Structure 1
Amino acid sequence: MDALELLLNRRSVAKLVEPAPEGEHLENIIKAGLRAPDHGNLTPWRFVLAQGEGRQKLADILQHAAQQRGGDEAAIEKASKAPFRAPLVITVIAKVTPHEKVPPIEQHLSAGCAVQAMQLACIAQGFQGFWRSGPLMFDANVRQALNVHGDDEIVGFLYVGTPATEPMKAAVRDLSQFVEFI
């Protein structure tokens, strides 16, 4: 797939099945994440992969957090099932290094760029990924379980697998609604 075509037509597919990328495909996905913009060469990212039994470990972490938050039965069940929406879940964490010229927000944005780069690498290799967030990524129990401290933040969960459906066509947007010149 042409790079510009990929960028202009990227769409998430939420229905993902086995197989998940592995070997060279998975390495390419991680390497793409490591190419995110990185002011100061701080490498402000950390990736926690959950597949196989790891998905159950992540499910247990999310379920416990939902229970501790006082979630109702539906919220707790949703949290416990979340990691099973794809055969691989990559938790992307902004790993912040104190730096006088690179504030935490810039390092968080860099980690966000890593998520998109990894998603694009999935698509380019015939897989798919969708980026999820939500209140549990800010939860103290989840942060502790995934060793997230201080200014570090979970920037999202990238669900990865083989698309079970074709992506919908990208919406055509009126550029004049988003662009202005000064």
Structure 2
Amino acid sequence: MSSVTDFLLNRASEPRLEAPAPDAVTLERAFSCASRAPDHALLRPWRYLVIEGEDLKALGDLFAAAYSDNIDGPKLEKMHKKAMRAPMVIVGIASVQKHHKVPEVEQLLSAGASMSFLGLALQDAGYGVMWRTGDMAYNPVVLEGLGLEKGESITGFLYTGTVSSTKPDVPRPELAEFVARWPK
């Protein structure tokens, strides 16, 4: 198998991330990889926001504001700290368009593939990534605060930085659990 296959077989999400984050040259190359995702009709139904440095505090403020009416002090502080899990957070946004040949679901899958390619490129450059969604990806306060347009949705928050400590290997399913031949 190729080095790509070996890389994929060893890919893992890394939740413990610290500075430094990817530099501008690395990011440019990674976003170029993201743009190579399958994309029926070349709609490019994705876009990204890069958040780092002091802007992570503003993201934490936005996360906390999304729940400030429903939770108390310690839980509110926990929401704020979610933005500080890595030195850089890249927000993936699906920008679905009306198209006579390309249904919404294909555009969402393309945006997800783009996000995946981005994460793989960053890992190949030596950085760790953790793709997260959760309540923040669907909260209207967060969507508005990040400037999403009508019809856009968050594909995830890609936390990235330097791996501070690797997590233990995760058991992988047996192929027979998710692969079958058709017809039987």
Which 10-residue stretch deviates more, 91-100 or 164-173?
Answer: 164-173
After the TM superposition, list the runs of 4 or more consecutive aligned residues in structure 1 that deviate by more than 4 angstroms.
Answer: none
1:98-113 alignment runs, 5 A limit: 98-113=98-113
Which residue of structure 2 aligns with residue 136 of structure 1? 136
Q: TM-score, normalised by structure 1?
A: 0.92
Unpaired segments ≥5 residues, structure 2: none
Measure how far apart 1:32 and its partner are: 1.6
Provide Cα deviations, 1:125-174, integer angstroms capped at 9, x if missing partner: 11110001111211111111112233211010000000011343353431
Normalising by structure 2, report the TM-score. 0.92
State the partner residue of 2:169: 169
Cα RMSD (Å) of the superposition? 1.6
Q: 1:114 to 1:30 in 2, by over 3 A?
A: same
Q: Distance in 2 between matches of 1:74 and 1:99?
A: 46
Distance 1:96 1:165, change over 3 A: same
What amino acid is aligned across from residue 50 of structure 1 in structure 2? I
> 3-state SS of the aligned residue for 2:68?
helix
Q: Is the 8 A contact 1:108 1:153 kept in 2?
A: no
Return the alpha-carbon distance in structure 2 between the equivalents of residues 47 and 6 of structure 1: 25
Cα contact 2:16–2:166 (8 A) shared by 1? no
Secondary structure of the residue aligned to 2:90 is: strand
Output the CA distance in 1 between the equivalents of 2:12 and 2:72: 32
**Quick one: which amino acid aligns to residue 46 of structure 1?**
R
Give the conservation status (yes or no) of the 8 Å contact 1:9–1:170: no
Aligned residues: 181
* CA distance, structure 2, for counterparts of residue 2 and residue 74 of structure 1: 46
